[in-house]
Chains A and B, each alone.
Chain A
Amino acid sequence: MIVTWQIGVRLALIVLLAVVVQVSFLSYLSILGATPDALPAVIAVIGLLGGAVTGAVAGFATGLLVDSLLLQTLGVSSLVLLSVGYLAGRYREQFEIDSPMAPALLAGGLTLLATAGFIGLQLMLGVEATVSLLVVREILIKALLGFLMAFPLYPLIRFALRPALVLEEPPTRRRIFRNRRRPVRRRRLRRASTEISRLNNAGARRPSDSASQGGVA
């Protein structure tokens, strides 16, 4: 990704919008008994599109914003989300994203990692919680919701960051059609070149014929 200042502004707006929607809308919902958390999925998608550095920086900024808005211990969400962004970016740098399921699976997996990491960090900071097995259920459901949310998030964020993306053009209908026509064009070319060589041969033969005729005469 080529990060110009315009793209930086777009990234900042995506992050701000995601955080506001999360704390003002998604955190109020209860789906299958768990609260959906879109932020790891958003950061995973940014990492996938922009690479490890962009993902890590976006994750760090998002975490800082969330911790500030919710007046939580600063740095906890930053640490978790920057890891999410970095890992997603590294995945993109190492592997081809050739399946439409890949971003969703990655977002689901990284949501699981982020939720578990956040809980682990909080417990390390001295939150004396009696942890029920339901926490495991909550983590798994959040991961599932992260997987599902990635399906709309990936094309949306990709569309928003389109000018900065240096990606191979996906095989469009037009290209497929053009590829199909290529052999036809080749056949025509081959036919044309055969015709030219035939004409050349014919032209070359004519004087020699006359010469040979003359020789006989």
Chain B
Amino acid sequence: MYRKQIRRRRTILVALIITSLVLLSAHFSEAESGPLHAIQRGVATVLSPLESVASEALKPARDLVDWFDETFEARGENDQLREDLAAARAELAQAQDAVGQNEELQKMLDLNDKIELAGFDPAYKPVAARIINRSPSVINATLGVNAGSGDGVEEDDPVISGDGLVGRVAEVTASTAQVQLITDPRNAVSARVLPDGPQGIVQPVAGDPDDLRLDFITNEQQVEEGQMLVTAGWSNDEISSAYPYGIPIGEITETTLGEQDFQRVTVQPYVDMRELQDVQVLTGGPARPGVSG
């Protein structure tokens, strides 16, 4: 009797492991239109109303936890902010002088048109979406939104918030989409340093959701702390970046000359991914070679 139980237990365990491995390899090698992806999207679509309701119902609890978190953090930051305020007052006078000069530079570089492309280019149709789920994993920095192919959302569509670039659409169902954040290690964004700096690739560092890294900036190229980064919108005839030119990404916080030819440039993203509640998916837009969206 006992041996029979052991045999049964082992059979079930082996069957489950084999099923998992088969699912894993089949799903990994299957095309997006394959049956496993279709079933997965079906399950996600069926459960999305439940997620939306749960997300709304649990919002007060989330806000409460955030409030405690922020209060705790704010107490620690108070002293630092006082020092920053004193420094900021000293800089204000200099800044006011710089305003006029800055406006002229803005006109020269035509930044307004470029940076606000996402909001004003009529080719893009922004679709507002609410966040309904998040991945708890440090490797999969993704979040789910309540807009899908029924709203015109397609894979690789850029996703933004009021502060800047959030990520791109990685998977779409009829009523939801999964957004791969720029802090997801599988994501890389071609970026340009403003006003006339070099181009590089912005990549995250797994386990550090607050900072990004700007790669491929040589030691000779001039970049400084405080400079702004926007999407480069890089493209040739065959492949393109998923992001159009000019979406703000973040600001350079640290630069260190590398032992090899490249600098180590740290970037702080403008968007606080943990605080996000609503985003905009930029649907439509001009055709970009090699981008499905």
Contact = CB atoms under 8 A, between A and B. Distances in A.
Interface of A: 20-30, 34-37, 39, 52-53, 56-57, 60, 63-65, 67-76, 78-79, 82, 86, 115, 118-119, 122-123, 125, 127-139
19 contacts: A21-B54, A23-B133, A23-B135, A25-B58, A37-B136, A56-B16, A68-B39, A71-B40, A72-B135, A74-B36, A75-B20, A75-B23, A79-B20, A82-B16, A128-B185, A129-B185, A129-B204, A132-B207, A134-B208
Given A24-B58, A82-B17, A138-B207, A53 B8 contact: yes
Contacts of A137: 207
Contacts of A52: 9, 13
Interface in B259-275: 274
Contacts of B28: 73, 125
A60 B24 CA distance: 13
Top 4 closest pairs, chain A to chain B, by CB: A75-B24, A129-B185, A135-B207, A27-B134
Contacts of B206: 119, 129-132, 135
B161 interface: no
Interface in B198-214: 203-208, 213
A36 B24 contact: no
B13 A70 contact: no
B16 A68 contact: no
Contacts of A130: 185, 203-206, 213
A119 B139 contact: yes
Given A57-B12, A135-B138, A24 B205 contact: no
B22 to A, nearest CB: 8
Contacts of A122: 137, 139-140
Interface of B: 8-9, 12-13, 16-17, 19-28, 36, 39-41, 43-44, 47, 50-51, 54-55, 58, 61-62, 65, 69, 132-140, 142, 144, 170-171, 173, 178, 185-186, 203-208, 213, 274
B274 A28 contact: yes
A69 B133 contact: yes
A70 B133 contact: yes
Contacts of B12: 53, 56-57
Given A28-B62, A36-B136, A73-B24, A60 B8 contact: no
A71 B178 contact: yes
Contact of B43 (A20, A35, A69): A69
Contacts of B25: 75
B17 A73 contact: no
B223 to A, nearest CB: 19
Contacts of A56: 12-13, 16
Contacts of A78: 16, 19-20, 23
B16 A57 contact: yes
A58 B207 CA distance: 29
A74 B178 CA distance: 15
A73 B27 contact: yes
